């Protein structure tokens, strides 16, 4: 098998990497950036720090800070209108998954036109849009290194996955210092999202030797440090490991795939507006328990990469992985959907729809055990009460 690998052309990784934006723009021959971020970062002073550096370098950026969590077609269109009102040669995505995904979407629309729905998978958008420079502020989504963006069509609550090289940032500035002030809940949710990317990339039917190496290393960086950043947000060594692990996990799944957890997670996000990392966390132990018997050697390798004390037997190691994922959810105060306050009647009524949407996304087809709609429905019922 020939693995198809795609990476950002340039990355800067480490403390202070985000300060190198003016230099990186110069290296790429870009000078008119359109910066996409969110209202929280705009209000926190982080955006001003970024733009002051650009101005000092003789570059005057335009900032769009009205992105929303789980970007919608309307929010991307608003960013596009702001971009089209000026003259820009690149888009800088500064923030978590939502600003980065908005930046990617608007970069494609700016060059190739809308509507956004036209780009929904299986459409493949390899032809480049405006160049995107990604600066993540959460150790989670990995979007700085993936060839995907996700935009919700608010007309039918559908999370549209968009795929292609056009969404792969040309440059990623991976600066863990941006995560030192990240709120606790966001730290946990985005961290479990990153761990899920690494595990799913590794157990996926589309895994390959290239993605395997990155996925295993990402698990080794994320698993021992998740509780540390939860307990002590200022733990620099743990934050650095989490940030690098999240980016490596992003590269891994972008060059392999995600699987059943993400397939089931997206409908929960779309219908109940649960944060992406949190809905993954709600699902991860039960889906791993469901899948592990079909690939116990792969799940055992995950347990070992995560540094769990396991014996030589694969099946017992895979069971230890499930136990650890349950313990992690307990330690990081991950609620069940019921504890989170979702409506029981709505949950039950939507299970058939969510199961269909999960299957239609294609992600469950990459799972070691490919589930039926009935099995997915049973998993949704199982996770309800935790
Ligand atoms: Fe994810």
pLDDT at position 386 is 82
Q: How far is the CA of 196 from the centre of ligand 1 (A)?
A: 7
The region, left, alpha or beta by phi > 0 then psi within -120 to 50, assigned to residue 371 is: beta
For the domain with range 10-179, which CATH number is right: 3.40.50.1970, 3.80.10.10, 2.30.30.140, 3.90.76.10? 3.40.50.1970
pLDDT at position 54 is 94
The closest of 13, 143, 14 to 91, measured between CA atoms, is 143
CA distance 312 to 223: 20
Q: How far is the CA of 141 from the centre of ligand 1 (A)?
A: 5
Q: What is the pLDDT of residues 219-250, one digit of tens each?
A: 999 999 999 999 999 999 999 999 999 999 99
**Is residue 312 scored above 90 in pLDDT?**
no
Q: How far is the CA of 297 from the centre of ligand 1 (A)?
A: 23
Q: How far is the CA of 266 from the centre of ligand 1 (A)?
A: 9
Query: What one-character DSSP code corresponds to residue 124?
Result: B
CA distance 256 to 266: 18
Q: How far is the CA of 111 from the centre of ligand 1 (A)?
A: 27
Q: How many residues does the chain have?
A: 386
Task: For residue 329, give every residue at least 6 positions away whose Cβ sits within 8 Å of its Cβ, in sequence order, or none.
Answer: 192, 281, 282, 284, 285, 386
Q: How far is the CA of 341 from the centre of ligand 1 (A)?
A: 22
Q: How far is the CA of 29 from the centre of ligand 1 (A)?
A: 32
Arithmetic mean of pLDDT, 85-89: 97
Burial of 236 (0-12, 13-18, 19+ CB in 10 A): middle
pLDDT at position 1 is 82
Q: How far is the CA of 276 from the centre of ligand 1 (A)?
A: 7
Q: How far is the CA of 140 from the centre of ligand 1 (A)?
A: 7
What does the mean pLDDT of the chain come to? 96
Determine which of 201-205, 207-211, 267-271 has the lowest per-residue pLDDT on average. 267-271
pLDDT at position 217 is 98
Q: How far is the CA of 352 from the centre of ligand 1 (A)?
A: 22
Q: How far is the CA of 101 from the centre of ligand 1 (A)?
A: 12
Q: What is the pLDDT of residues 284-302, one digit of tens each?
A: 999 999 999 999 999 999 9
H-only helix segments in the chain: 21-27, 39-44, 46-56, 73-84, 97-112, 184-203, 209-222, 226-231, 236-254, 260-272, 276-291, 296-305, 314-331, 337-340, 344-360, 373-384
Q: How far is the CA of 61 from the centre of ligand 1 (A)?
A: 30
Chain mean position to CA 75: 19
Q: How far is the CA of 254 from the centre of ligand 1 (A)?
A: 11
Q: How far is the CA of 249 from the centre of ligand 1 (A)?
A: 10
Q: How far is the CA of 197 from the centre of ligand 1 (A)?
A: 6
Q: How far is the CA of 207 from the centre of ligand 1 (A)?
A: 16
Q: How far is the CA of 143 from the centre of ligand 1 (A)?
A: 9
**CATH architecture of structural domain 184-385:** Up-down Bundle (1.20)
Q: How far is the CA of 27 from the centre of ligand 1 (A)?
A: 31
Arithmetic mean of pLDDT, 11-24: 97
Q: What is the pLDDT of residues 335-367, one digit of tens each?
A: 999 999 999 999 999 999 999 999 998 999 999
Q: How far is the CA of 148 from the centre of ligand 1 (A)?
A: 11
Arithmetic mean of pLDDT, 15-28: 97
Q: How far is the CA of 12 from the centre of ligand 1 (A)?
A: 22
The domain locations on the chain are: 10-179, 184-385
pLDDT at position 100 is 98
């Amino acid at each position: 098998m020939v693995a198809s690998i795609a990476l950002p052309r340039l990355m800067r990784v480490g403390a202070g990497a985000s300060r190198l934006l003016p230099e990186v723009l110069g290296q790429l021959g870009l000078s008119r950036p359109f910066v996409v971020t969110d209202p929280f970062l705009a209000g926190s002073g982080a955006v001003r720090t970024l733009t002051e550096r650009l101005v000092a370098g003789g570059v005057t950026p335009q900032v769009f800070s009205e992105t929303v969590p789980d970007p919608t077609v309307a929010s991307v269109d608003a960013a596009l209108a702001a971009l089209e009102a000026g003259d820009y040669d690149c888009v800088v995505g500064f923030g978590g998954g939502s600003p980065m995904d908005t930046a990617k979407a608007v970069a494609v629309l700016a060059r190739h036109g809308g509507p956004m729905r036209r780009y929904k998978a299986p459409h493949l958008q390899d032809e480049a849009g405006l160049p995107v420079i990604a600066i993540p502020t959460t150790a989670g989504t990995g979007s700085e290194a993936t060839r995907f963006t996700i935009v919700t069509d608010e007309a039918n609550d559908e999370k549209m996955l968009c795929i292609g090289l056009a969404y792969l940032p040309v440059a990623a500035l991976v600066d863990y210092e941006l995560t030192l002030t990240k709120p606790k809940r966001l730290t946990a949710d985005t961290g479990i999202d990153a761990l899920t990317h690494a595990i799913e990339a590794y157990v996926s039917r589309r895994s390959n030797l290239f993605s395997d190496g990155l996925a295993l290393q990402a698990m080794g960086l994320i698993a021992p440090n998740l509780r540390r950043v939860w307990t002590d947000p200022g733990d620099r060594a743990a934050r650095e490991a989490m940030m690098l692990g999240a980016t490596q996990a992003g590269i891994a799944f972008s060059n392999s795939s995600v699987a059943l957890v993400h397939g089931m997670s997206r409908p929960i996000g779309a219908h109940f507006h649960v944060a992406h990392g949190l809905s993954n966390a709600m699902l991860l132990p039960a889906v791993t328990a469901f899948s592990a018997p079909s690939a116990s050697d792969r799940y055992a390798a995950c347990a070992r990469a995560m540094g769990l004390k396991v014996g030589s037997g694969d099946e017992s190691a895979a069971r230890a992985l499930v136990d650890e994922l349950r313990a992690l959810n307990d330690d990081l105060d991950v609620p069940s959907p019921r504890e989170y306050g979702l409506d029981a009647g709505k949950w039950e009524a939507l299970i058939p729809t969510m199961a269909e949407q999960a299957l239609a996304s294609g992600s469950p087809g990459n799972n070691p055990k490919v589930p039926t709609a009935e099995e997915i429905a049973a998993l949704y019922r199982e996770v309800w009460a935790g």
